[in-house]
Homo-oligomer: A and B are copies of this chain.
């Protein structure tokens, strides 16, 4: 446990950077170029993952942030350290079982067994399919397989990595960042990712809740039911027009912290958060 010298609780955020960060994939896809985030509050620069990582670091956790490439998470790590927090970047590619196994070996060695695991990975596969390829029959199998890795197989493999230690300790939090498409299967609209595999993430959260809650592990599925503020999404016309439909990730991070600190006598296993101006999804 070389780097976590003070023995802080360990919080791991899988997918801590954002596809909507200043130079993120969605940002580039939507705007054609990076956006300037220097005027934006640091809390929102890396979406939910970055806000959660900052929050747990501020609250005294040794925070591990994972990303496919270290470089991608460097500005977030710098921000956490500037705020007096401690963090470690670990490279992790959810498509690869080897990468997952090796990343968690590193985490255990450099930080210790995770006390909190936040599965915050997402994908954008499907967004650039043209309007005449909206139907399921047009989804390429490779695209489907990627969504399976992020939403089905990845969570399963990560669960196998962290739950044994949490079970032995009789304590831990395992939270999933999810969206409203995890509630049921719906028609994919042009411009949307292939969302329906997200239902499996929610289902896994339900399985783990029934299996591990009584063993002291707090499992929860968080349904972020709206657009999330970030450098790339803030610049979208639809969010400019309706800022009342945009969620502040700093407040989302507070919700995660509230869940993590709930008394054992009253745990919440699914939390849906919706901007006041919209109807909650179901």
Contact = CB atoms under 8 A, between A and B. Distances in A.
A267 B254 CA distance: 12
Given A148-B153, A196-B203, A216-B276, A159 B188 contact: no
A113 to B, nearest CB: 14
Contacts of A214: 276-279
Interface in A192-233: 196-197, 199-200, 202-214, 216, 218, 224, 226, 229
A187 B226 CA distance: 19
B211 A203 contact: no
A134 to B, nearest CB: 8
Interface residues of A, number: 75
A272 interface: yes
A247 B262 CA distance: 12
A248 B266 contact: yes
A279 B209 contact: yes
A139 B275 CA distance: 27
A208 B197 CA distance: 13
7 contacts: A141-B156, A148-B152, A152-B200, A199-B200, A268-B271, A268-B273, A271-B271
Interface of A: 97, 134-137, 139, 141, 144-145, 148, 152-153, 156-157, 159-160, 163-164, 167, 184-188, 196-197, 199-200, 202-214, 216, 218, 224, 226, 229, 244, 246-248, 251-252, 254-255, 258, 262-280, 282
Give the 6 A-B CB pairs with smallest separation, nearest first: A185-B206, A266-B273, A187-B210, A185-B207, A185-B203, A251-B263
